[in-house]
Structure 1
Amino acid sequence: MKKLAKFGLAGGALLPSLAMAAAPAVADKADNAFMMICTALVLFMTIPGIALFYGGLIRAKNVLSMLTQVAMTFAMVCVLWMVYGYSLAFSEGNAFFGSFNWVMLKNIAPIALMGSFYQYIHVAFQASFACITVGLIVGAIAERIRFSAVLIFVVIWLTFAYLLIAHMVWAGGFLAQDGALDFAGGTVVHINAAVAGLVGAYLVGKRAGFGKESFKPHNLPMVFTGTAILYFGWFGFNAGSASAANEIAGLAFLNTVIATAGAMLTWTFGEWALRGKPSLLGVSSGVIAGLVAITPACGYVGVGGALIIGLVGGLAGLWGVTSLKKWLRIDDPCDVFGVHGVHGIVGCIMTGIFASSSLGGVGYAEGVTMGHQIWVQLFSDGLTIVWTAVVAFIGFKVADVIVGLRVSEDQEREGLDVNSHGENAYNN
């Protein structure tokens, strides 16, 4: 990949395990510090970012349930990642999975390098991506799922969906070999999580009273706080995927700024035109829309391309949480599919367009045309959608057989905080 290698991408975003291992074995203090900071930022996105964002979107009687689900899935993914997840995702294996060579991180010495930074940092950085991906799913099944069912599902889905997609895209697997471009997680994180959430929403069913009672967010300032944390942490998400403090990290950083601003504007003005008033919820949703849309593209496209992706993303998200949500007839309390699914797909496809050097991007691999790259992006999206949907279906069904997916209607109406955790978020 001549043009991509010129910009440093072959060692970072495309093949973070195999290609970086071929880089000169010299530790760079700046890159090590940069990657540790980026890792901390992405961890910050899950706790407290996703927890507060989702917690504010649901009703007051279930907010502690949401915070607990996000926190506990975070902990579970961290442990599974160190035990076998990192090894299966990023060690050398076949086109779909890695090997067990790095189980419990054995055979990885503290001085081992991944390019210019220590491999232990790479382990933690990639763990942060796995954590937030799983955390995104729970927003689609909030307010009615059994806590134990969530934990069972996480083990199955992480093992057979997330690890496989991560290996195929970022560790030299099947989709990487096909030429798929996903700088920071359009397929691996957002489409992957959104489709799993969509399957879960269908299988768990709609909340009691849905469509007949008010289901408004209980705390919009909490939503905005979570949004601000996610925006801040996303710079670690996107810039950190360059795997070094270099010019591509700077490009990803700037593209994240401009795409998010563009999406905020189009979502807010679109909502204003449709509903007569701009809302804080719309502004917050626009932020997430822009962040998700630019994620797969941020290290490949120019600033002009990033702006267009953001502008289109804002309108696509507004359509996703209004028209598409009604068409799908789902109860997705936190609009996981309407935002992360729609923008993951849109962002990946537009990456194939605006990576073109003629449009200001870094250029395609030698001999690759725009039409071919768009086809590769579509295939990558489609494979991710089908595979994660199948694994999610199996995961939820297994959890249903073992413990049951859903709490009783009486428990649901009283609230999961009291019935699942014995606590109240607010004193009356």
Structure 2
Amino acid sequence: MPPGITTLAADTPTLSAANTGFMLICSALVMLMTPALAFFYGGMVRVKSTLNMLMMSFISLGIVTVLWVLYGFSLAFGADIGSVFGWSPDYLGLSGIGVTQLWDGYTIPVYVFAVFQLMFAVLTPALISGALADRVKFTSWALFITLWVTVVYFPVAHWVWGAGGWLYEMGVIDFAGGTAVHINAGAAALGVILVIGKRVGFKKDPMRPHSLPLVMLGAGLLWFGWFGFNAGSWLGNDDGVGAVMFVNTQVATAAAMLAWLGYEKLRHGSFTTLGAASGAVAGLVAITPSGGAVSPLGAIAVGAIAGVLCAMAVGLKYRFGYDDSLDVVGVHLVGGIAGSLLVGLFATGGVQSDAKGLFYGGGLEQLGKQAVGVFAVLAYSLVVSAVLAFLLDRTVGMRVPEDDEISGIDQVQHAETAYDFSGAGGGAAARTTSPAPGSTAAAKTKKVDA
């Protein structure tokens, strides 16, 4: 029997219909986050790149789902091998799992745990795509996802959450993915963009979002889906920890949005909708690792600190010259680092675990553990992602030709455009209603047609 599976018996937990239903809903909410991210990113790019940006997120639903069933679940949550990755043949193809088997010590079926974690695996590479807007071949991106989740995400998920994983055994606290998801994706984004280079016109041409309403829609859906992402990570709510995480998710997100807007007003003189959306996402990112360890007051502090730090960080790309198109590094990497490290300061020791942060009498021990987790994942993902991008660039090529980038990647890569303006004003649209024969309007129409 592979680890993580127990059978229904008198001396083991019994299946909870309530927890099972709750976790299925949470899984659906996390699935929603990937198309929500597509909207969020899609609105931030120029019109000519909209469909490509949407597809770079959406394709992850297809690729990662299949890989997760084939071998991803086994690599992430199978029997531990050297504290680095897992492997259980019964998990391959999810073929050796019975419907009555429960996840290790919990009251939900293994299938439910597997599909919940699948949605995390789908979302993480989609996060990377925002840094690569306008310039990456779609086939190369699909290949990158395939390789990246195999050699980066699946092993790192085991480090952080798998029984026997070295960060898990060390006691690093990551409630729902500050290291495994956000730092992992942010570091990967930085690694890839250092290899593939800048967009044509970076720092010269205006590259403003083409649809801020679409950005706000995506941010709102992300906020909604994040409750499943965070609260569901406790795999039930029999002891109230999931409820605390739910509250802290809302609180930190609100604080981060306000902090970002405050910084933006002081620095640039305006409260922008893009700032509100980005600030909310920064708060969601930061509370993801820490929300099960801090109080609601701590969540306000985590959100506010992350909101300011991320607002400051998005400008670093202009100072240092790396083209992080949609601020994946500034929001997800910096927000993930902030949220993970702040556990070492604000952990109360009374919610998720007994571990206490510096401000609650715990000294520097937990902060040290958090720092190890942060920089281990950052370094591994940065280096391996850069190597993968380099290999793909030298073989199949990562970037579209410069002319295609300038003319628009949507038409070249997908043979479509996001918006059809051919019927707007004049032309055929102006004559869809024919004037009455013999009328003045009819005579004018004949002259125009002639």
Rounded to whole Å, the distance in 2 between the matches of 1:80 and 1:25 is: 30
Which whole-Å CA distance do the structure 2 matches of 1:347 and 1:298 have between them? 9
Letter in 1 for 2:260: W
Equivalent residue for 2:412? Answer: 419
Correspondence 1:259 to 2:283: no
State the partner residue of 1:68: 55
2:283 to 280, 290, 296: 290
The CA distance in 2 between the partners of 1:142 and 1:304, in whole Å, is 37
Contact (CA 8 Å) 2:310, 2:330: kept in 1 or not? Answer: yes
Change (3 A) 1:230 1:423: same
Contact 1:181 1:352 (C-alpha < 8 Å) held by counterparts: no
Q: Does 1:387 align with 2:380?
A: yes
- For residues 312-339 of structure 1, give each alpha carbon's deviation from its aligned partner in whole angstroms, at most 9, with x where no partner exists: 11101111112x3233321111100100
Residue of structure 1 in register with 2:318 after alignment = 326
Corresponding residue SS for 1:370: coil
Equivalent in 16, 28, 34 of residue 40 of structure 1: 28
Q: Structure 2: 5+ residue runs without aligned partners?
A: 422-450
Q: Distance in 2 between matches of 1:248 and 1:83?
A: 32
User: Deviations for 1:135-172, whole angstroms, at most 9, x for unmatched residues?
Assistant: 00011111001111111111111011101110011012
**In the comparison of the two structures, how many residue pairs are matched?**
408
1:194 aligns with 2:186: yes
SS in 2 for 1:396: helix
1:214 alignment partner, SS class: coil
Contact 2:203 2:318 in 1 (8 A): no
- In the other structure, the counterpart of 2:390 is 397
Which of 84, 98, 102 does residue 96 from structure 1 map onto? 84
Query: How big is the shift at 1:362?
Result: 4.9
Indicate yes or no: 2:153 matched with 1:165: no
Q: For 1:20 and 1:292, how far apart are their aligned partners in 2? A: 33
Shift of 1:199: 1.1
| Structure 2 residue matching 1:295: 3-state secondary structure | helix
Give per-residue Cα distances to partners, 1:25-64, cap 9 Å, x unaligned.
31000000000000000000002x0100000000100100
Aligned pairs (5 A) from 1:224-263: 224-246=216-238, 247-263=240-256
The 10-residue stretch of structure 1 (97-106 or 293-302) with the greater mean CA deviation from structure 2:
97-106
- Alignment match of 1:118 (pick from 109, 113, 118): 109
Separation in 2, partners of 1:105, 1:361: 30
1:305, CA displacement in angstroms? Answer: 0.8
- Shift of the 20–248 alpha-carbon distance from structure 1 to 2, 3 Å rule, reads farther
> SS of the counterpart of 2:290?
coil
Q: Distance in 2 between matches of 1:212 and 1:143?
A: 15
Map 1:371-386 to 2 at 5 A.
371-386=364-379
Q: Is the 8 A contact 2:38 2:53 kept in 1?
A: yes
- Correspondent of 1:136 among 117, 127, 136: 127
Indicate the residue corresponding to 1:13 in structure 2.
none
> Any residues of structure 2 matched to 1:263-282 within 5 Å, and which?
263-282=256-275
Q: If the length of structure 1 is used for normalisation, what is the TM-score?
A: 0.92
Matches of 1:283 and 1:256 in 2, distance apart? 16
Aligned-partner Cα distance in 1 for 2:4–2:367: 25
Q: Could you tell me the percent identity over the aligned residues?
A: 39
**1:105 alignment partner AA:** L
- 1:119 and 1:417 map into 2 onto residues whose CA distance is 40
Identify the range of structure 1 (147-156 vs 235-244) with the bigger mean alpha-carbon deviation. Answer: 147-156
CA drift at 1:361: 7.7
How many Å separate the matches in 2 of 1:384 and 1:24? 35
Secondary structure in structure 2 of the residue aligned to 1:296: helix
Match of 1:154 in 2: 145
- Alpha carbons 2:252, 2:304 under 8 Å: kept: yes
Match of 1:181 in 2: 173
| Inter-partner Cα distance in structure 2 for 1:410 and 1:277 | 36
User: Displacement of 1:18 after TM fit?
Assistant: 4.5
The whole-number CA distance in structure 1 between the counterparts of 2:391 and 2:197 is 16
One-letter code aligned to 1:373: Q
Give the Cα separation in 1 of the matches to 2:391 and 2:15: 45
Cα distance, 1:192 vs. partner? 0.1
1:57 aligns with 2:44: yes
Larger radius of gyration: 2
Q: CA RMSD in A?
A: 1.9
Q: Which runs of 5+ in 1 are unaligned?
A: 1-16
Q: Aligned partner of 2:145: which letter?
A: V
Which of the numbers 333, 343, 350 marks the counterpart of 2:342?
Answer: 350
1:20 positional shift = 8.5
Distance in 2 between the 1:398 and 1:60 partners?
30
Residue type of the partner of 1:248?
V
CA contact (8 A) 2:293 2:349 kept: no
Do the aligned partners of 1:46 and 1:70 also contact (CA within 8 Å) in 2? yes
CA distance in 2 between counterparts of 1:315 and 1:70 reads 27
Q: Is the 8 A contact 1:57 1:333 kept in 2?
A: no
Question: Is 1:145–2:145 an aligned residue pair?
Answer: no
**What is the alpha-carbon distance in structure 2 between the residues aligned to residue 135 and residue 356 of structure 1?**
33
Tell me the distance in 1 between the aligned counterparts of 2:180 and 2:7. 21
* Alpha-carbon distance, 1:21 to partner: 8.9
